[in-house]
C-alpha cells in the first residue's frame, strides 16, 4: 500500500471528524440541530448523494502498486474495481454507446483493399456479431440486468431495516426518502457499470479513454479540493478570528492587517505563482517524484494549501465580529471577574458559541471550492494536466466543441457529475444552516 500526501490528509480528516462526533454526540446543543436535519427529506436525500460521492472518493484514495504492473505504476482501489472500464481504451473519439469510431479513417479490408469509413471499435460492442440488429436489444438487456441488481440490493437493505426497526434498534422519520433516493442511485449506478463493461456509455475522448471513467475519477479531486482546503483554512480562521475579537487592541490590528493584505492580492495571480514554484521545485528534484501520480498529487496538495491560505479571511472576519459580541455577554464578564484564565474562557465560552458559524461556513464553502477547481483548471493554473478532474475535462472539451460534428459528451459528463455534487452540497448546506443558526432555531 502506498500513502500519498493527500491520502494521509484525508485519513487525518476522517479521524478528526470521528473524534468530534463521539465527543459531541451527547451534547444537547449539538444533537438537537442534527435531529432537525435528519427530519428534513431534502437534507437526507442530498446526504445520500454526498455519501455516495464520498465512498467513491475514499475508494480512490487507497493506492497501491499492482503485482503485474511496472515498478512505478500506482493505481487505486477504485481503479482495481473498474478495471474493465479503465483498460478498455480505444484509438480516439467515439460517441456514447457507439460501436464505431467517431471520425472516418483508412480501413484495410480482409482482401487487402483500402476503403475510407468508420473503424469498428476494439472493445465497445465487441461481443456482438451484427451490431445493427443486435445492439439495441443488447443494451436494453444489459441495462435491465444492472438495474435489477441495484434495485434488489436496496430492497434487501430496506427489509433488513424494517426487521431491525421491529427489534427497536433504530428508527428514522425520513427513512422512506433515504431508501427512495438510495433505490434511484443504486439502480442507475449498477446499470451504468454493467453497460460500461460492454460499451462506452459516455463515449471516449481524443486518446480513446472512457469519459465515464474520467468523470468517476474526477470525484476524488473535487472532494479533496473541498475538504482539504477546509482543513487548512479552519485553524487559521478560528484562531485569528477569535483572538482578534477577544483581545482587540494591537492583536486585532495585526490580524486585520494580515487578512487585509491577503485580500489585496489577486487570488489568481497568487495561485499561479505558487503553482509555478511547485513546478520549478519538481523539475529540480525529479528523483523525489518517480511517477506521474506522485507529481500530480504534490501539485494537488499545493493547490489545496494556496486555496486554504487565500480563503480563510472571510470566515475570520465573521468569527471576529461574533467574538466581539460574545466577550460583552454577562457570563463572559462574570468569568473574567472571577479570575478564570483567558484560555479557559476562549475554550469553554467563546469557541462553542461560534461553532455554528464555522459549521455553516464549511458546508457553504465546499461547493464554491469545487467550482473554483474547475475554473482554475480551465485556465491551466489548477491541478496537473494528468490529474482527472472536471476542470481538465471542461478544458479539453473547449476545443472539442469547435469540431464538426461537435464532440459534446466530455462537457456533458463533467457537467452532470459536478452539478450532482454541488447541488447536493448546497441543498444539504441550506438545511444545516437553518438548523444551526441560533436566530432560526426552534425552541
Grid cell of 95 as nine digits: 460517441
- pTM metric for this prediction: 0.85
The C-alpha atoms of residue 296 and residue 298 are separated, in whole angstroms, by: 5
Domains of the chain, residue spans: 219-436
Taken in order 86, 87, 93, 98, the sign of the CA dihedral is negative
H-helix or E-strand spanning residue 105? strand 100-108
pLDDT by position in tens, the chain (length 443):
788 888 888 888 888 888 877 777 777 777 788 888 888 888 888 989 999 999 999 999 888 887 765 555 788 889 888 888 888 888 888 889 888 888 877 776 666 667 777 788 888 888 888 888 888 898 999 999 989 998 888 888 878 776 666 544 444 567 788 888 888 898 999 999 999 989 999 989 888 889 999 999 999 988 888 888 888 888 889 999 999 888 888 888 998 898 888 888 877 778 878 778 887 877 787 777 777 788 888 888 888 888 888 888 888 988 998 888 888 888 888 888 888 888 888 888 888 788 778 877 887 777 788 777 777 877 777 788 888 888 888 888 877 777 777 888 888 998 899 888 888 888 888 888 777 766 555 44
Q: Which residues are CB-neighbours of 263 under 8 A, at least 6 positions away? A: 313
Grid cell of 59 as nine digits: 475508494
Question: Would you call 137 exposed, middle or buried from its count of C-beta atoms within 10 A (0-12, 13-18, 19+)?
Answer: exposed
The C-alpha atoms of residue 269 and residue 416 are separated, in whole angstroms, by: 30
Grid cell of 212 as nine digits: 465515464
Q: Which residues are CB-neighbours of 362 under 8 A, at least 6 positions away? A: 230, 234
- Which superfamily is assigned to 219-436 in CATH? MetI-like (1.10.3720.10)
The C-alpha atoms of residue 258 and residue 374 are separated, in whole angstroms, by: 28
Grid cell of 280 as nine digits: 520549478
Question: How many other CB atoms sit within 10 Å of the CB of residue 288?
Answer: 11
Grid cell of 155 as nine digits: 430492497
The C-alpha atoms of residue 39 and residue 403 are separated, in whole angstroms, by: 49
Amino acid at each position: 500500500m502506498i500513502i500519498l500526501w493527500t491520502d494521509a490528509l484525508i485519513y487525518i480528516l476522517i479521524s478528526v471528524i470521528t473524534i468530534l462526533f463521539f465527543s459531541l454526540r451527547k451534547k444537547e446543543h449539538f444533537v438537537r440541530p442534527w435531529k432537525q436535519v435528519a427530519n428534513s427529506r431534502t437534507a437526507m436525500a442530498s446526504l445520500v448523494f454526498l455519501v455516495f460521492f464520498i465512498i467513491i472518493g475514499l475508494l480512490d484514495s487507497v493506492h497501491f502498486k499492482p503485482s503485474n504492473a511496472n515498478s512505478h505504476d500506482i493505481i487505486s482501489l477504485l481503479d482495481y474495481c473498474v478495471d474493465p472500464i479503465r483498460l478498455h481504451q480505444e484509438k480516439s473519439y467515439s460517441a456514447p454507446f457507439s460501436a464505431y469510431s467517431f471520425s472516418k479513417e483508412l480501413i484495410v479490408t480482409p482482401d487487402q483493399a483500402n476503403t475510407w469509413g468508420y473503424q469498428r471499435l476494439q472493445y465497445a460492442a465487441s461481443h456482438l456479431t451484427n451490431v445493427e440488429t443486435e445492439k439495441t436489444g443488447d443494451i436494453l438487456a444489459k441495462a435491465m440486468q444492472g438495474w435489477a441488481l441495484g434495485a434488489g440490493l436496496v430492497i434487501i437493505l430496506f427489509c433488513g431495516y424494517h426487521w431491525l426497526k421491529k427489534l427497536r434498534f433504530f428508527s428514522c422519520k425520513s427513512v422512506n426518502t433515504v431508501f427512495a433516493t438510495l433505490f434511484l442511485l443504486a439502480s442507475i449506478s449498477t446499470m451504468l457499470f454493467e453497460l460500461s463493461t460492454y460499451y462506452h456509455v459516455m463515449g471516449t475522448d481524443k486518446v480513446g479513454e472512457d469519459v465515464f471513467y474520467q468523470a468517476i475519477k474526477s470525484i476524488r479531486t473535487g472532494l479533496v479540493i473541498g475538504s482539504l482546503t477546509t482543513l487548512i483554512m479552519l485553524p487559521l480562521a478560528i484562531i485569528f478570528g477569535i483572538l482578534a475579537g477577544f483581545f482587540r487592541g494591537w492583536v486585532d490590528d495585526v490580524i486585520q492587517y494580515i487578512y487585509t493584505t491577503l485580500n489585496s492580492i489577486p487570488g489568481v495571480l497568487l495561485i499561479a505563482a505558487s503553482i509555478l514554484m511547485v513546478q520549478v521545485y519538481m523539475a529540480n528534484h525529479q528523483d523525489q517524484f518517480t511517477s506521474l501520480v506522485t507529481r500530480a498529487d504534490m501539485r494537488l496538495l499545493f493547490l489545496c494549501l494556496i486555496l486554504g491560505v487565500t480563503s480563510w479571511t472571510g470566515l475570520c472576519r465573521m468569527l471576529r465580529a461574533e467574538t466581539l459580541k460574545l466577550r460583552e455577554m454577562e457570563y463572559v464578564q462574570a468569568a473574567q471577574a472571577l479570575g478564570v484564565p483567558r484560555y479557559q474562557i476562549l475554550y469553554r465560552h467563546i469557541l462553542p458559541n461560534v461553532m455554528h458559524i464555522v459549521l455553516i461556513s464549511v458546508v457553504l464553502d465546499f461547493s464554491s471550492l469545487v467550482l473554483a477547481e474547475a475554473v482554475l483548471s480551465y485556465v491551466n493554473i489548477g491541478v496537473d494536466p494528468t490529474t482527472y478532474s472536471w476542470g481538465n475535462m471542461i478544458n479539453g472539451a473547449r476545443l472539442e466543441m469547435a469540431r464538426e460534428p461537435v464532440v459534446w459528451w466530455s462537457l456533458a459528463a463533467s457537467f452532470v457529475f459536478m452539478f450532482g455534487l454541488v447541488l447536493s452540497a448546497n441543498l444539504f448546506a441550506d438545511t444545516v444552516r437553518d438548523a444551526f443558526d441560533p436566530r432560526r432555531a426552534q425552541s
